[in-house]
């Protein structure tokens, strides 16, 4: 799931969703330690923290979404959001860029780094 290339916002959403399931799984595992109250409490707490973290990521993604640029994908014609200088289309995973200097160049995640200098 993570190896598949997709837009950044989709990736964060997938991660947050996964974290909810992990949190619930950890809390569920805690039930097996009913006789050990301390271990059960630790499991419950860890699960609870995972769920809280994932809601935090959702909130963060929501804030990031306001900073994205909405464009119409030239490949599939659907509206999509670009985060940073280069990103993938949310519908068809077509690499998109906001920088005309990078147009036509192969997609590379390094273009998003601040250290990357225009040459």
Token reading at 97:
């860029």
Toward Zn ion, which CB reaches closer, 18 or 76?
76
Toward Zn ion, which CB reaches closer, 86 or 89?
89
Toward Zn ion, which CB reaches closer, 27 or 89?
89
Min. distance of Cβ 6 from Zn ion in angstroms? 11
Classify residue 71 as exposed, middle or buried by CB count within 10 Å of its CB (0-12, 13-18, 19+).
middle
Q: Which helix (H) or strand (E) holds 19?
A: helix 8-30
Min. distance of Cβ 77 from Zn ion in angstroms? 7
Q: Which residues bind Zn ion (CB under 5 A)?
A: 73, 75-76, 89, 91-92, 94
Min. distance of Cβ 70 from Zn ion in angstroms? 13
- Residue of 14, 8, 13, 17 lying closest to 50 (CA atoms): 17
């Amino acid at each position: 799931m993570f190896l598949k290339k997709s837009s950044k916002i989709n990736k964060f959403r997938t991660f947050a969703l996964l974290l909810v399931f992990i949190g619930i799984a950890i809390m569920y595992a805690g039930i097996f330690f009913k006789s050990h109250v301390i271990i059960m409490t630790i499991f419950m707490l860890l699960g609870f923290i995972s769920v809280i973290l994932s809601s935090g990521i959702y909130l963060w993604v929501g804030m990031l979404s306001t900073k994205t640029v909405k464009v119409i994908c030239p490949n599939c014609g659907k509206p999509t959001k670009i985060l940073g200088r280069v990103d993938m289309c949310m519908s068809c995973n077509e690499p998109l860029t906001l920088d005309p200097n990078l147009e036509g160049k192969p997609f590379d995640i390094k273009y998003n780094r601040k250290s990357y200098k225009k040459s």
